[in-house]
Amino acid sequence: MENLISLVNKIQRACTALGDHGEASALPTLWDSLPAIAVVGGQSSGKSSVLESIVGKDFLPRGSGIVTRRPLVLQLHKIEEGSREYAEFLHLPRKRFTDFAAVRKEISDETDRETGRSKQISSVPIHLSIYSPNVVNLTLIDLPGLTKVAVEGQSDTIVQEIENMVRSYIEKPNCIILAISPANQDLATSDAIRISREVDPTGERTLGVLTKIDLMDKGTDAVEILEGKSYRLKFPWVGL
């Protein structure tokens, strides 16, 4: 299995380098045939916290509005115990980052190189590999947060553009959807659950993650959600 995951990682890197990165197209591509885990959620839903918990490092840009403006293909590689953790970007071959604050800055800078310093989005992904003894071999795709309104500096169509981009990844039958929903908001209004339900109505490839449990209003309870009584998925909900 480890050899298979390693092979898939290499093929995904090759696809990205060749410009095949899951964009909606009339014809199927090699990327479409590969398994993927896509991280989906609304703005400020806690997507960054989930990813950083998996990695064990703070490395993602933070801020208000749409922070993730390009897909981030994050490949985790387990290395020997005692080895020093480092990161590499596909667009900066042979450059190792051991300072994860510098990783965060490079993600922001590379986003700006593609989109300018505007608040627009791009479907061209950033490819980041992290090597650490504290991770498992895994590939995750962090997608821009779903939003309901455009802010100053964004086109009026950006709401639909983001949804189209997210849908182009998660509608593929070989994509596992990591649906992030904050516990301090009504699950019925969750953007992640709404769009996941549309492409995976039976919940067979959706994993629900409930974030911000510590911010729930006094007197509220997350148990019904975590037990699948509010919205049932094939697999149990995870609380964070």
> Does residue 16 lie in a domain region?
no
> Does residue 26 lie in a domain region?
no
Contact 85, 57 (CB under 8 A): yes
Query: Treating both helix axes as pointing N-terminal to C-terminal, what angle do 191-199 and 158-170 enclose, rounded to 10 degrees?
Result: 50
Residue 95's pLDDT is what?
95
Chain centre to alpha carbon of residue 124: 14
Helix (H, G, I), strand (E, B) or coil at 42: strand
Q: Mean pLDDT across the stretch 113-129?
A: 85
Number of domains in the chain: 1
CATH code of the domain containing 75: 3.40.50.300
> Does residue 235 lie in a domain region?
yes
Residue 157's pLDDT is what?
85
Q: Mean pLDDT across the stretch 212-231?
A: 77
Residue 9's pLDDT is what?
66
Residue 26's pLDDT is what?
46
> Does residue 191 lie in a domain region?
yes
> Does residue 102 lie in a domain region?
yes
> Does residue 84 lie in a domain region?
yes
List the domain range (segments joined by +) for residue 234.
2-7+36-239
Distance between CA 22 and CA 163 in Å, rounded? 14
> Does residue 19 lie in a domain region?
no
Radius of gyration from C-alpha coordinates of the chain:
18
Tens of pLDDT, residue by residue over 183-196, are 888 887 889 999 99
What's the one-letter identity of residue 2? E
> Does residue 13 lie in a domain region?
no
